[in-house]
Amino acid sequence: MRLRRVLSSILTLSIGISVLSGCGSVQSQVDATHTKSLTLALRDGTYSDVIRSCLPAFEEQTGITCEVVNFSEDDLHNLLLDEGGRSSQYDLCMADASWTAQLYAEGVVADLSELGYSIDNDIIPATTAISYYGDHLYLVPYFGNVTVLLYNKDLIKSSGVDLNSDSSLADVMEVAKYAESIGKAGFLYRGDTENNLVVDFLPILLAYGGWVVDENNRPTVNTPVFVEAMNAYLNLIATGEAMDKSTLIASIENGEGAMAIGWPGWYTPTELSPANYCSISGKLDENSISYNANVYGIWMLGICGDSSKKEAAAQLLTYLMDKNVQKETIAIGGVPCRYSSLRDEAVLAQYPQYDAICDALQGGTYRPTLEKWPEFYTILGNAMRQIIDGEISVENGLNQAQKELENTIR
């Protein structure tokens, strides 16, 4: 489907925002007759809370009121894609990075370049890899969700292994086996959905130098490196068990479980908290190549393609993406994709975990930008579940998945 272009009659946007201090001071050159109300379609939880915290000051200074409508991940996906966008009632939206191919193909989001918006060089470059369609900008990275290794501090300390951003998969396995040997769960994983199964495995696959598709986006799930990584993953999760997110976090906090693949949006460690996290090095052992093994789950911001208030929405987007505004959101759980936030000495003195997040964001990989990515992970996740449950061998399961994927991803 051809990408719908923003109507050429849209006036060139003149953004007159001057941020003076955090979320509290903005001056606007918007004409009084241009005052509008904006409706935002956001992912619920911390992601929405962070944006909500910035809206009162924006509203006060611009006279533009903002209504937030929260959605679960699935419901937001359905709104933007399965229902064809239905975005005329929404002006600014949040989107998962893995949806971008569909969003662009169906014209759900507006061309930000035509609206005069551009990305500055303070934003970590790798996080903008899927922000463009051709040479034009459509989405910007807002909440830097990225996989990290979540672990229990006391169990790690007693294992004698110093887990950090340089630790290898061999180190992770050593800790997992130690935890298992003292009656604890070693490596926990999320087995509640096909998507969670796949994403949990991807950092392991990347550390082996493998991936789920080739350079032409053709499936590669039955390759020798994929088989090798799958066998390693089976050995790792054999030391633990499958859990849903809340149970997994609680297990690591109370010391019943040692480690798991997690996300910064799940947990905010402090000096006194029982758990912490580090980025994933992408190394098999201390002497091996280091691959970009942290998987991006970044929540992007865009302007709805059918919005009649694109200029005002672009003004709000500029405000929300301002580096000073974003830095102040850290206090309520924000995770900017900005060096000025994640490497700030004052921020790190209070929130040292943001150093690990910055490492992970610099060494991250986006999931494939496939229009049929949901079908892809469902097929692969089903095969992985059969393999994990012992219903089928690794080789047979992956060969079966490859054939099904080849028939689906054309």
| Higher local confidence (pLDDT), 10 or 320 | 320
Check residue 31 and give its pLDDT: 41
CA 383, chain centre distance (Å): 24
pLDDT score at 369: 86
In which band, very low, low, confident or very high, does the pLDDT at 6 lie, cut at 50, 70 and 90?
very low
Say what percent of the chain tops pLDDT 90.
77
Q: Give the confidence band of 20 by pLDDT, cuts at 50, 70, 90.
A: very low
pLDDT > 60? residue 29: no
CB 251 within 8 Å of CB 257: yes
Rounded to two decimals, the pTM is: 0.84
When the candidates are 3.40.190.10, 1.20.1090.10, 1.10.510.10, 3.50.30.40, the CATH number that belongs to 18-145+297-365 is 3.40.190.10
pLDDT computed for residue 271 by the predictor: 81
Q: Is 24's pLDDT higher than 70?
A: no
Q: What pLDDT band is residue 267 in, cutting at 50, 70 and 90?
A: confident
Decide whether 18-145+297-365 matches 148-295+372-408 in CATH topology: yes
pLDDT band at 87 (very low <50, low <70, confident <90, very high): low
pLDDT at 16 over 60: no
| Residue 268 confidence (pLDDT) | 80
Average pLDDT over residues 293-314: 95
What tens digit of pLDDT does each residue of 312-355 get? 999 999 999 999 999 999 998 899 999 999 999 999 998 888 99
Is the pLDDT at 86 greater than 80, yes or no?
A: no
| 3-state secondary structure at position 189 | strand
Rounded Cα gap, residues 291 and 157, in angstroms? 26
Of 45-49, 207-211, 252-256, where does mean pLDDT reach its minimum? 45-49
Pairing of strands 257-262, 185-188: parallel
Q: How many CA atoms lie within 13 A of 283 on its CB side?
A: 16
Instruction: Confirm if 122 and 339 have CB atoms less than 8 A apart.
Output: yes
Q: What number is the average pLDDT over the span 177-206?
A: 96
pLDDT, average across residues 272-280? 92
- Statement: residue 30 has pLDDT above 60: no
For residue range 149-174, list pLDDT tens digits in order. 999 999 999 999 999 889 999 999 99
Q: What is the band of 248 on the pLDDT scale with cuts at 50, 70, 90? A: very high
Domain ranges of the chain: 18-145+297-365, 148-295+372-408
Return the DSSP state at 233: H
The owner of tokens 């939880």 is 45
3-state secondary structure of 316: helix
Distance CA 252, CA 275 (A): 7
- Confidence class of residue 15 from pLDDT cuts 50, 70 and 90? very low
Closest among 59, 86, 272, 280 to 170, alpha carbons compared: 280
SS3 73: helix
pLDDT digits (tens, 9 = 90+) for 210-245: 999 999 999 999 999 999 999 999 999 999 999 999
Residue 9, pLDDT > 70, answer no
Whether 117 has a pLDDT exceeding 50, the answer reads yes
Fold of 148-295+372-408: D-Maltodextrin-Binding Protein; domain 2 (3.40.190)
- By percentage, how much of the chain surpasses pLDDT 70? 90
3-class SS of residue 87: helix
pLDDT of residue 84: 55
Task: State how far Cα 5 lies from the chain centre.
Answer: 27
Check residues 24 and 75 and name the one with the higher pLDDT. Answer: 75
Q: How confident is the model at residue 56 (pLDDT cuts 50, 70, 90)?
A: very high
